[in-house]
Structure 1
Amino acid sequence: MDPLAVLRDYAARGDLDKIIFSGDEVLFGSEYTFPANAPTAFTNKQSGRPYPLSAAVFLAQHNDLKHTDFIQAARLRRIPPVSLPDRKTFLDFLRHGHHSLPTDPLLPSALPSFAPEPQPTLPEEPEGDKASGAYIRSLERTLKDRNALLDARGRDFLAVLQNATRREEERRRNKDSVTTSARHAPSAAAVAMAKPKVERSFGEGFVPIILVPSASQTLVTIYNVREFLEDGVFVPSEERMRAMKGSGKPDCVMVQKKLIRGERTGAGGGATTFEVRDKPASLKPDDWARVVAVFVLGKEWQFKDWPFKDHVEIFNKVIGFYVRFEDDSVEAAKVVKQWNVKIISISKNKRHQDRTAALEVWERLEEFMRAHT
């Protein structure tokens, strides 16, 4: 098969975008594969040397460029650029089928990068359809078979499969979510404004949620909340982020703590697991029923789109904590003092005092959960 004939066929069908360069080869969809440096019947009029297939394909795909831009683009791709006079000749051949190129195509068997196998003795005078078929087959050479097409060097099909599977699962989940929302809610606005169910049964299977700000200027974030609440040690968020070495911010953190006084109703006094999140917008109505505490930033916008009408309702159903350095100005907590929020002070340098602050959080939280059981 003459590669120029294949190229002209793809141009006539408008399928030039299906021709791709893959290493040292040119792939015509899944039908044909030729060496990129294969000489063609398209020759340089000045030197008489044949242009490689890569030059012909590149010209066919980028003939809309100005010639100066085309030359520069070809050189960047390390493809021999086609001269301006030869360019017109080839485009006439490509678009209109003018026989301005040599009539004898360069067959793949004549390409220098493929050593031809010993040819069988050809019949001097083929007679009949059978002899003609044998004569044609004797000139053919297989470039690719179905097994060779599966050998994609440098391509990770496992990653392609995993990405496709993940996208399909996400699409299915989104579709199910939209269908469920449309079935059970009159409108998206009604769902957003619906009040959470505060039927908190602190029994088996109930995992309370603690919300922390996602802003970096707050002291307690999802990066350092576990060390602070579980170990009673305050570690700056920046330090924890550097220790994670770019592994990314977690969506949630699980924190455990034994209750301070007595036994919790219905829990047998064991350790309680809390789920810490910093994205309230991702919570569903049922999740809001599990929210028991929030570390406040001291900014009104933190509570935007919360399913409560005001701060009174928020801090009646959720206990609030504001963590600050003990030597910070009182002005910084001016807004927070107007809310029903517990202010927790920690030292910038005295780390042995962190445990006292953490225990104060747990004690207040236990009292709140007891009162709302």
Structure 2
Amino acid sequence: MDPLSALRDFTVRGELDKIVRVGDEFRFGSDYTFPCSAETAYRSKQGNLYTLETLVYYVKNHHIKHTEYLQSARTQRIPAVTLPDRKPLLEYLQGKVASTDAIEFVVPQNPKIPDIGVDAVDEYRPEDPTLLAIRDPPGSEDALDNSRVRGFDNVDYISMIRASERPLKDRESLLECKQRDFYSVLMASTRREEERHRLESHQRKDGLVAKSRLMGADERGLGFWKDGDELGYDGTPKPKMLLNRSKIGEGVPIILVPSAFQTLITIYNVKEFLEDGVFIPTDVKAKQMKGAKPDCVTVQKKFSRDRVVMAYEVRDKPSALKTEDWDRVVAVFVLGKEWQFKDWPFKDHVEIFNKIIGFYMRFEDDSVESAKIVKQWNVKIISISKNKRHQDRAAALEVWDRLEEFVRSRSHT
């Protein structure tokens, strides 16, 4: 019996505990013994034949999570079963399916073809059905020719050739390194990125406290400024750039976003979109942040890499705003639902979008019906692609341009 069939037989019977490794061999009770490195007939989707050692280790550990299984196999220095192969392989070994296309029982690479001569025709006639069809008398010239032709026709040369072939590389194996697992690299990189974001958040928070105090000082009255205005060493405009702030509350301006996940821009992904021009789906970003939803996020419009033009606070809880905080609200990303504006200190939509600029984010191929209500409001509709991430930056710049234009007009009214 071949190693794969023996392993399937013991798995179906629930006798995996009788498969014991002794040195470089696996002993299947007292029935069979195979080398650990023996190739089985089960071919991976990556093209290689799994060894008996790999299959035995997998079938005995299939119940654990794939990431834990990979780490354990790597520790034991045993090649692992890939994720796409796990389910079909287990179903075959447990007897849930009778066969699978992944199984390739090897045809002998050098099959011995009997040299049937005149004297051997009678000897092979009882066993060889191809010779039973020969009606020429033994020893005749026709019988000899027919036996040779039929004997060679019975050999499947295509199967012999395919059995000898071994794929060297495919598009999946080209992206992999043997004996390497990039899961730990990904986790380490993610942790470093999260730590960087935390440090930047603390730095921005400390800077904004000082900036808010400066902006609230009567003698300076610092307000919004345009790209190209001369900035001081600390990133704030020099005192000569004084603008009228009477129509905008003192302090850092506020942008409101919906708290619902069904909108494209939320407090989870607003920073990457406005600062970096990259749209990351909310559910993806929330998983990266491990569900730790921030109360407030600071976004910055930059004149260059190291020169900040303006900073904004982004919040998603309007009910937590104080009366004086509403004077600092300059923009809102709308959900397209009336209840978003419940208990807002304005009498109607006309007053809201006269004092606050509204943005509605949508995918460019969404139906017109999704924006039917929004089109009745005085808001700016910004469209992005579902798949073409390189177009996100243009959409983010459009938001900044319209926001700054609105702020300038509001500051001078």
- TM-score bracket for this pair, using the shorter chain length: 0.3 to 0.5
TM norm structure 1:
0.43
Higher RCO by CA contacts (8 Å cutoff, separation 6 or greater): 1
TM norm structure 2:
0.39
